[in-house]
Amino acid sequence: MKVRMILIAGLLVVTWGCGSRASAPAGPSPAPAPAPGGSGSPVSIPSGASFLTRAAYAPNPVVIAPGGRVTWTNNDTTSHTSTSDTGTWNSGGIAPGQSFSRAFPSAGSFAYHCAFHPGMIGVVIVQ
């Protein structure tokens, strides 16, 4: 009985704490903005990418600092992927208009391609 009351009191404190913190910045920006100020380098998959080989990802190569993030956005009308040549990552199908993001913690040169269209190739350079 005593234990249960302590638990309830604890829950109340926790919920109250969260509530007050959430409403503190009284501004109309509820969405957790993905890295405003841009720690993510954008890579576009342009229209007709299936036939663009090295231009299927732009920019190519994309150069970032260690710990940086690359966000691929599919601006084509068919699905594509960002798939590591060595299997380190695989976005799965990125539908038109969708994007995929990944961080690269350590330096190196990381080749990738599209799993659906192997002619589409790109490189992420982390330095």
Binder among 117, 122, 124, 126 for Cu ion (CB under 5 A): 117
Q: Shortest Cβ distance from residue 75 to Cu ion (Å)?
A: 12
115, with CB counted inside 10 A (0-12, 13-18, 19+), is middle
With beta carbons less than 8 A apart as the criterion, state whether 68 and 104 touch. yes
Nearer to Cu ion, 16 or 51 (CB): 51
- Per-position x/- string for 32-71, each x denoting binding to Cu ion as judged by CB under 5 A, each - no binding: ----------------------------------------
Kindly state the tokens that stand for 46.
Answer: 């342009």
Annotate 75-87 with DSSP letters as a single string: -SSS-B--EETTS
Binder among 52, 80, 124, 126 for Cu ion (CB under 5 A): 80
Cα of first residue to Cα of last residue in the chain, in angstroms, is 59
114 binding Cu ion? (CB under 5 A)? yes
Binding site for Cu ion (CB under 5 A): 80, 114, 116-117, 120
